[in-house]
Amino acid sequence: MRLRRLMVPLLAFALIAGACGDDDDGDEGTQSEDTGGGGGDDSGRVVLLTAMEPEEVSAVQSIFDDMINADADYEAEVEAAGNFEEQLQIRAEGGTLDLAAVPQPGAVRQLAADGSIVALEDLGFDIAELEEMFGEYFLSLGEYEGKHYGVPTNINLKSMVWYPKDDFDAAGYEVPDTWDDLIALSDKIVADGSNPWCIGFESEGATGWPATDWMEDLVLRTAGVDTYDQWVNHEIPFDDPAIKEAAERFGEILFTDEYVLGGAAATADLAFGDAPGPLFQDPPGCYLHRQASFINSFFGNFDEDAEAGTDYDWFPLPPIDQEGTLFAGEFTVVGSNRPEVKDFLDQFIGQEVQCAMGGTEASSRISPNIEVGPDCYANDILADASVVLTDALENDTGRFDASDMMPPEVGSGTFWTGMIDYVRGGPDSLDGVLAAIEASWPAG
């Protein structure tokens, strides 16, 4: 009886101690698992965390299955997380991250600063070889304190001008090769009684970002890559004459009478996804629309049967004083230094797998690997874009989206709102707008 009375609480205590004790070594457990393979990869799993769409995931997974898993003693797996940023942070801090495809260079450097990802040098990569593959500039974006942390694994083109090919050709217009030709074409379209440009900047809380892309494209073309880098790193002020010149070029498109369908002020209220619509009207409400490659997937909303190459096509935004190509992309970072992870990454960035990924219809990825030729792409638009991008990476004329690399107060704040103030305020507002963005740049 006495024994029993004593035993009951003792027993329960053991239960709770067990529960609490387990909770503690739960954290240790994940760490110790890391050496043996993170998050249940004792079976030799290598997980690539991404923010891909479901159709894309299954396409990429089947390529991994065919080309990597078939011969490897581990299993490579693509995982798409709806809450990608959150998952990345949790796994990086918890030590259960194998690999992740991160779209922001700033995030790569932050992870490196936190010490939660492994440098490519420490994994045994030859940086010179990688620079050869991806171009020095793109690779350098993932650099932190002298070491490289991210391998480019996707790239998308932003400097694209879309046009309704059938109507464009029928009207006798020609694709411009220079900025002057572009302006002459715009004038011609106005003279023919139409409006050349369709522009829309509204994007809920992120309203203004399409305008920053325009600006970046124009800074690249008027001032060149070196000034662009100085601008991004705030080595020149935001209201520097070079930046002002680019903004004035932008104003030339925005504020010239009849250039923009609906007028410049309305661009701020027009959803960016609705903007290309008039390209597909009959006759077209406008003939030119500058937007990154993704906009392609919106065209079905306006004309279900719109076909690339016949109904619409694109040309690169022409150079002004300089050649320039604006792009964005993704970096694959490594969270766990294991031989199978290294082996997977080696194959993943290699020419064969990258080429195969371009061959699937479900994927709109373009390989930043210079060795991957245009023949790899199932889609002509992507193939053409890849030629422009490869050229830019090789010749160092390509630059990454500036607003993604500026401090968030500017890049996701005053740069967006400032551009909207500019399109609403007209050419005279420019000085004030640029000065306000400059003033918002955080100190230090």
Partner 1 sequence: MTNGSEQQTTATVPANAEAGRALKLLGAVVVLVGLPLLVQWAFDFTKDRDANRFAIVGVAIVLGVLGVFALFWVMDQIVDRLPRGWRETARPYVFVGPALVVLSVFLIYPVVNTLLLSFKDRRGDSWVGLDNFEFVFTDPSMLRSLRNTSLWIVVVPALALVIGLVFATLADRLQRGESVAKSVIFLPMAISFVGAAVTFRLIYNYRPEGFGSNVGVMNAVWQGLGNDPVPWLTRQPWNNFLLMVIMVWMQTGFAMVVLSSAIKSIPEEIIEAARIDGATEWQVFRHITIPSILPTITVVTTYMVINAMKVFDIVFVMGSPENNGTEVVAERMLTWFFVRNNQGYGAAVAVVLFLAVIPVMIANVRRFRAEEAIR
Residues of this chain that bind partner 1 (CB under 8 A): 4, 7-19, 21-23, 26, 39-40, 195, 198, 200, 202, 204-208, 261-263, 266, 268-270, 274-275, 277-278, 281, 285-286, 408-409, 412-413, 416-417, 420-421, 424, 442
Angle between helices 351-358 and 54-64 (to 10 degrees): 140
327 touches 400 (CB < 8 A): yes
356 touches 64 (CB < 8 A): no
Q: Which is nearer to partner 1, 135 or 200 (CB)?
A: 200
335 touches 38 (CB < 8 A): yes
74 touches 111 (CB < 8 A): no
329 touches 156 (CB < 8 A): yes
CB of 273 to partner 1, least distance (A): 11
Q: What is the residue-wise DSSP string for 223-283?
A: HHHHHHHHHHTTSS-TT-HHHHHHHHHHHHHHHSTTTBTT-HHHHTTSBTTTTTGGGGSSS
For the record, the structure tokens of 253 come out as: 């498109």
Q: Report CA dihedral (415, 417, 423, 426) to the nearest 10 degrees.
A: -90
CB of 200 to partner 1, least distance (A): 8
CB of 59 to partner 1, least distance (A): 23
Q: Which is nearer to partner 1, 142 or 200 (CB)?
A: 200
CB of 255 to partner 1, least distance (A): 15
Q: Which is nearer to partner 1, 145 or 204 (CB)?
A: 204
CA dist 150 and 141 (Å) reads: 8
Q: Closest Cα partner for 47 from 101, 98, 116?
A: 98
Q: Which is nearer to partner 1, 200 or 335 (CB)?
A: 200
Q: Which is nearer to partner 1, 262 or 316 (CB)?
A: 262
Q: Closest Cα partner for 363 from 375, 377, 347?
A: 377
Q: What is the residue-wise DSSP string for 206-226?
A: TTTHHHHHHHHHHHHHHHHHH
317 touches 216 (CB < 8 A): no
120 touches 333 (CB < 8 A): no
Q: Which is nearer to partner 1, 134 or 280 (CB)?
A: 280
Q: Which is nearer to partner 1, 387 or 436 (CB)?
A: 436
Helix (H, G, I), strand (E, B) or coil at 98: coil
Q: 317: number of CA atoms within 13 Å, CB side?
A: 30
CB of 22 to partner 1, least distance (A): 5
CB of 442 to partner 1, least distance (A): 7
Q: Which is nearer to partner 1, 88 or 133 (CB)?
A: 88
CB of 83 to partner 1, least distance (A): 13
CB of 66 to partner 1, least distance (A): 23
CB of 45 to partner 1, least distance (A): 10
Q: Which is nearer to partner 1, 161 or 270 (CB)?
A: 270
